[in-house]
Copies of this chain bind each other. A is one copy, B any other.
Amino acid sequence: MKILVNPDKKIWKKELARPVQKTKDIEKIVKPIMKKVKRQGDKALRKFAFEYDHVEIDSIMVDPVDIKNSGKQVDKALKDAIKTAKSNIEKFHKLQESPPLSTEIMKGVTCMRRSVAIQKVGLYVPGGTAPLFSTVLMLGIPAKLAGCEEIILCTPPDQKGQVHPAILYAAKLIGITKVIKAGGAQAIAALAYGTETVPRVDKIFGPGNQYVTAAKQLAAKKGVAIDMPAGPSEVLVYADETAIPAFVAADLLSQAEHGADSQVILVCPSEKIVDNIIVEVNAQLEHLPRQKTARKALENSVAVVIDDMDIALELINEYAPEHLIINIKEEDKAVKGIINAGSVFIGNFTPESAGDYASGTNHTLPTNGYARSYSGVSLDSFVKKITYQKITEEGLRGLGPVIEVMAENEQLMAHKQAVSIRLNYLDKEKK
């Protein structure tokens, strides 16, 4: 971990640069995969499952009976934990509902807005060494709350051609009935184009490796919406002498174990605090199963000593971290000063893992500086907000002339005419 002491603002950008992702070469690999799925549908999915997941699968879709029975193969402790997490996530996302709006803007001119669920959504849950059932919860719960009619979950099959029961159990709890055994770019292609088994969806959600991300970006060009551009995960911890070094170290490591390209930034008001934390990081690192990954990630990582809080906040906002842990005495002041972050964790007893799993907030968050302009996934991500208006005769008499003048000055005479013809009609009617 590199340590910078009161670095000049000019070098912030360079020193805190995220590991670069090469997208161009990846697109070259992803494009033919997507094309094949578009043309050959399920057949291509089976072919790629054999090629990449090393398994022959007969049916692309998980048997509903397996979903129904999934609970039998999951430990009670895990089932209970998933239930608690589900309940918390549901509570917080339910709170995000936007009630319908309606207002009479002028006499006889009523404008309204209503949230309407996106009909068909695709949720991607990556494979790997462990079943990411938490992602099923984070995407599936708001999709269900929003009222999406069709929810398709794609996840790569294991070497036996199965989907892990914990994933199926989370899906079952939420009420997801369509689980597709497909991973990588081919899964995204199936969601984007549709196959015999997989319906074409309107929006694709979920994390994934660079291939999945590239495929999502290509899908976005073809008219399918995506949740957000995804990059490697990252955390910034802002800690002072009130923070417990062992806790901060554990938080840094929990981010670092995600992947070698994860980034971890530490901001402290003094070098001594940094030193204490680094001692703890090294001690804890020894006992981690993913030690190698975490070490790699720590190589990309930086500790910055900034004694002035305003400057520290400026640096944090410029970096725009996906996860931000604020562990300082004046936490209220810091929280108020944050304008760019995905999700903020406050105080000594709020580890990032809480939000990753079970406290209620969503864990699908903007990485790579996108927190400057993007929000994390929320109930909003699964709805469109449609506006409506109704104007009465009286309303058009009042507003019509305004529209006529504006349309005329933009030289859109048919726009004007659409009003004039109605006003003339009303004039005649009056006589």
Binding site for B on A (CB under 8 A): 23, 75, 77-78, 80-82, 84-85, 88, 91-92, 95-96, 98, 101, 103, 105-106, 109, 111, 113, 116-119, 129-134, 166, 202-203, 217, 220-221, 223-225, 229, 244, 246-247, 250-251, 253-254, 256-258, 284, 287-290, 294, 335, 338-362, 366, 368-376, 378, 380, 383-393, 395-396, 399, 401-403, 405-407, 409-419, 421-422, 425
From B366, B380, B416, give the contact of A380 (CB < 8 A): B380
From B91, B95, B347, B391, give the contact of A347 (CB < 8 A): B391
Q: CB distance B418 to A357 under 8 Å? A: no
Identical chains bound together, number: 2
Among A203, A361, A392, A401, find the residue whose CB has the most chain B CB atoms closer than 10 A: A361
Q: A224-B373, A414-B253 are in contact. Are A351 and B419 (CB under 8 A)?
A: yes
Q: CB distance B119 to A372 under 8 Å? A: yes
List B contacts of A75 (CB < 8 A).
Answer: 409
From B85, B130, B250, B359, give the contact of A417 (CB < 8 A): B250
List B contacts of A393 (CB < 8 A).
Answer: 349
Q: A257-B415, A351-B422 are in contact. Are A338 and B380 (CB under 8 A)?
A: no
Q: CB distance A343 to B389 under 8 Å? A: yes
CA–CA, A384 and B203, complex, Å? 20
From B82, B386, B414, give the contact of A375 (CB < 8 A): B386
Q: A373-B118, A389-B354 are in contact. Are A92 and B103 (CB under 8 A)?
A: yes
CA–CA, A63 and B250, complex, Å? 54
List B contacts of A411 (CB < 8 A).
Answer: 129-130, 289
Q: Give the residue name and chain of the B residue nearest to A79 (CB).
A: B405
From B109, B111, B225, B359, give the contact of A399 (CB < 8 A): B359
Q: A344-B386, A349-B392, A419-B351 are in contact. Are A257 and B413 (CB under 8 A)?
A: yes
Q: A132-B410, A415-B356, A421-B247 are in contact. Are A350 and B290 (CB under 8 A)?
A: no
**7 tightest Cβ-Cβ pairs between the two chains A and B:** A225-B373, A130-B411, A351-B418, A81-B405, A250-B418, A257-B414, A361-B387
List B contacts of A406 (CB < 8 A).
Answer: 78, 81-82, 85, 133-134, 357-358
Least CB distance, A327 to chain B, in whole angstroms: 11
List B contacts of A421 (CB < 8 A).
Answer: 246-247, 250, 284
Q: CB distance A417 to B378 under 8 Å? A: no
CA–CA, A285 and B252, complex, Å? 67
CA–CA, A347 and B395, complex, Å? 12
Q: A109-B88, A405-B81 are in contact. Are A355 and B389 (CB under 8 A)?
A: yes
List B contacts of A391 (CB < 8 A).
Answer: 347, 349-350, 354, 359
10 contacts between A and B (CB under 8 A): A111-B360, A130-B410, A254-B418, A257-B413, A335-B388, A344-B388, A349-B395, A353-B403, A358-B399, A373-B384
From B81, B290, B380, B389, give the contact of A402 (CB < 8 A): B81
Q: Give the residue name and chain of the B residue nearest to A130 (CB).
A: B411
Least CB distance, A410 to chain B, in whole angstroms: 5
Q: A113-B96, A349-B396 are in contact. Are A412 and B257 (CB under 8 A)?
A: yes
Q: CB distance B77 to A405 under 8 Å? A: yes
Q: CB distance A385 to B375 under 8 Å? A: yes
Q: CB distance A416 to B353 under 8 Å? A: yes
List B contacts of A247 (CB < 8 A).
Answer: 418, 421-422, 425
List B contacts of A402 (CB < 8 A).
Answer: 80-81, 84-85, 357-358
CA–CA, A92 and B104, complex, Å? 9
CA–CA, A194 and B287, complex, Å? 46
List B contacts of A256 (CB < 8 A).
Answer: 414
